[in-house]
Structure 1
Amino acid sequence: MKDYRFNRFVLLCFVCFLFVGSYAQEAQYTPPQLSDPESWSLVLMPDPQTYVKFERNQGALELMTGWISEQIEPLNIGMVLCTGDLVEHNDWLNPNGTQANQPGKKQWEAVARAFNRLDGRVPYIAATGNHDYGVKSIEYRRTNYNHYFPVDKNPLSQKLLRDVGIDNDGYPSLTNATYEFTTPHGRKLLFMVIEFAPRDTVLRWALQTVNQEKYAEHTVILLTHSYLNSNSEHIVKEGYPITDGNYGAAIWEKLVKPSKNIQLVFSGHIGKPDDVLGHIGFRTDTNAGGKHVQQMVFNAQALGGGWHGNGGDGWLRYLEFMPDGKTVKVKTFSPLFAISPTTQHLAWRTAAYDEFSFELDK
């Protein structure tokens, strides 16, 4: 009888320990919120390709865009940006089950469906990455992007559209475009997206566009795919079969540095299996107008199990633009971890490289 009572006591203590531990984890969790109710925010989504190359992972991407949709008012979300590689395989018809278990068409349908949750609710812009061209990775410069993300897919994005560049076949394409946005604080922004490894003709078009007199007072935010590596260096060269591409160093020298109003550059592309630091980078330089250019690479595709894992553990970033018109606070958050009290204690990444602030010049 004594042993029985002792065992019951031990079991009761263990259950209490689990309950208290679970309660403590739940109590520690604070959902995302603005630090100032007058702020507005921009959401940065990393490369979605691994969420859609395996059918089993698509729910995570749907959860991310669903969470963004729910947070439009609480976080006063004004824009959503995606760093590209929307799919893993643009034109692959017969996936082998290891690199992917569904063809490119299904991958495009999956990513477009996930973004449907934002259509008519918040404007968004998605860059094109190397995997969005060719069969598997830019063997040629044809992409299915324009078919699955047409100009009228999201009327709120269409309303902001101002300039459209030309694709490799000579046709107007949203792979190179600008969108004009005025912040709640009255600052005029011009979002510019350019294709993966942009051609010289695209960089010339981009520089001419941002240098137009009508954009002289705008702050330009550039979105592209391949730009910085994990050492926060401009990427000089990559081994893709195209011969007319420009990577980070050339984009800096031919477009960003000569500009007078580009102040922010966002990119993705890089990754290392289950290594946060292999997916991120940040640096500040000065453009020809004497403005500081804040350059951020953010990705997550090989977190959560590597290249064939769950797609990136649901990580995204939201940037809070403060009412002073210059301070920007960066937070790194996972709606996937946040959805359950069991994992909510994992939903924030708070290291100095994941939670920080910077300032824009006036």
Structure 2
Amino acid sequence: MNVRKKTVLYLMLCFLLVACQQETEEITFVLLPDTQTYAEKYPEILDAQISWIEENTENIDLVLQQGDLTQNNNDIEWQRVQKSFQRLDNKVPYVLAVGNHDMGSGPGNFADERNTTLFNKYFPLDKMSALPAYGGTFEDQKLDNTYYVLETGRQKWLILSLEFGPREAVLEWANEIVAKHQDKLIILNTHSYMYSDSTRQGYGDNWRAQGYGVGQDEGQDAVNDGEQIWEKFVKKHPNVRFVFSGHILNNGVGTLVSVNDAGFPVYQFLANYQEGVKGSVKGGNGWLRILKLRPKEKRIKVETYSPYINEYMDDEAHSFHIKEVFLRSGY
């Protein structure tokens, strides 16, 4: 066999090995819901979560936080949150969301107005836009509504992080962004969407954005709850595949698989362990969500783990598998 044929065979073998590795890869997302009680009372717990992520960056593709980073929207709490998350800079892509406790006219005034000055002070766009995966924003110099682009092996992703009670204008922008990225699977990360009975938050449910001061805005500034976000945005696009949210108390968890207008499944998850959730200890005791996606097996494994106490939750609401999952951008 001549040198040229050997080279061709070698390159073909390398290609097959890489393709096989990509097809069997495990894609891992880590969810950090509602860190507000840690920011207020137990910063050591958030530090434990971040330390665990740092130690496992080689096995984590993306970190998503679902809003309510702080409890009281004050400088002390924002400094704690900033100090923790900046440890992940250029180590693993991370996405932050704005919750109702992260906006308002001042400490203790939660979402009475859409003021996110402190959030954008401690996570300024000029700094955040330089980090891995950043794509663009809805408003100049504001991180409130942002999208990110990411590749994991053969899969391309676009992650949209939208404000608490996203406005009509924001959903219109989100529709435009997704329409331009049909080659990617879409993740929606937002503070309030699912309810604790495993349905989307809607009329009659507690803690809707309509019940806060920002909920009185009208026109293009009118807010939307989970069911409205589904109707006006999520279900319209064949490639929107995941929705992650927090915010809701009661038992703090919910899981829903819905079929969009194109006939494809959308996997929607609520996870929240903050103070006020049934059974909560120390505002969550460090519980976070780990989603392990296995494209070849068409399977998602969901785990709930606390680096702070080094334990897993083993009940079916917090540890489960979803099978026959569609995970390719070819829909």
TM over 0.5: yes
* Matched residue, 1:224: 190
What are the Cα deviations for residues 222-265 of structure 1, in whole angstroms up to 9, with x where unaligned? 00000011001211252212222111111111110112211100
Which of 155, 162, 170 pairs up with 1:194? 162
SS of 1:159's equivalent?
Answer: coil
Instruction: In structure 2, give the amino acid aligned to 1:80.
Output: V
Instruction: In structure 2, give the amino acid aligned to 1:321.
Output: L
Which of 299, 303, 307 pairs up with 1:335? 307
Following superposition, the deviation at residue 116 of structure 1 comes to: 1.9
What are the Cα deviations for residues 18-74 of structure 1, in whole angstroms up to 9, with x where unaligned? xxxxxxxxxxxxxxxxxx9942311001100001112xx11111111011111112x
Provide the rounded CA distance (Å) in 1 between the counterparts of 2:101 and 2:31: 19
* Matched residue, 2:18: none
Instruction: In structure 2, give the amino acid aligned to 1:127.
Output: A
Which runs of no fewer than 5 residues in structure 1 stay unpaired? 1-35, 91-103, 273-277, 339-346
Q: Does 1:125 align with 2:79?
A: no
Aligned residue pairs total 288
Which of 241, 248, 272 pairs up with 1:299? 272
Q: Does 1:52 align with 2:39?
A: yes
What are the Cα deviations for residues 295-331 of structure 1, in whole angstroms up to 9, with x where unaligned? 0011111279978x52211100111122517422111
Following superposition, the deviation at residue 151 of structure 1 comes to: 3.0
Q: Does 1:150 align with 2:120?
A: no
* Matched residue, 2:151: 182
Q: Return the TM-score normalized by structure 1.
A: 0.75
Following superposition, the deviation at residue 361 of structure 1 comes to: 4.6
Which of 43, 51, 54 pairs up with 1:69? 54
Instruction: In structure 2, give the amino acid aligned to 1:328.
Output: I
What are the Cα deviations for residues 127-161 of structure 1, in whole angstroms up to 9, with x where unaligned? 11000000331111011211111235457x73322
Contact preservation (8 Å) 2:146, 2:162 = yes
Contact preservation (8 Å) 2:194, 2:226 = yes
Which of 277, 285, 288 pairs up with 2:258? 285
Counterparts of residues 1-362 of structure 1 (less than 5 Å): 38-54=25-41, 57-73=42-58, 76-90=59-73, 104-134=74-104, 135=106, 136=108, 137-143=110-116, 144-153=118-127, 158-166=131-139, 171-184=140-153, 186-212=154-180, 215-237=181-203, 238=208, 239-242=211-214, 243=216, 244-272=222-250, 278-302=251-275, 310-324=282-296, 326-338=298-310, 347-358=311-322, 359-362=325-328
Contact preservation (8 Å) 2:124, 2:141 = no
Contact preservation (8 Å) 1:82, 1:125 = yes
Provide the rounded CA distance (Å) in 1 between the counterparts of 2:306 and 2:85: 17
CA RMSD of aligned residues (A): 2.1
Instruction: In structure 2, give the amino acid aligned to 1:84.
Output: G
Contact preservation (8 Å) 1:303, 1:312 = no
Which runs of no fewer than 5 residues in structure 2 stay unpaired? 1-22, 217-221
Between the aligned residues of both structures, percent identity stands at 37
Provide the rounded CA distance (Å) in 2 between the counterparts of 1:280 and 1:326: 23
Contact preservation (8 Å) 2:182, 2:239 = yes
Provide the rounded CA distance (Å) in 1 between the counterparts of 2:277 and 2:267: 28
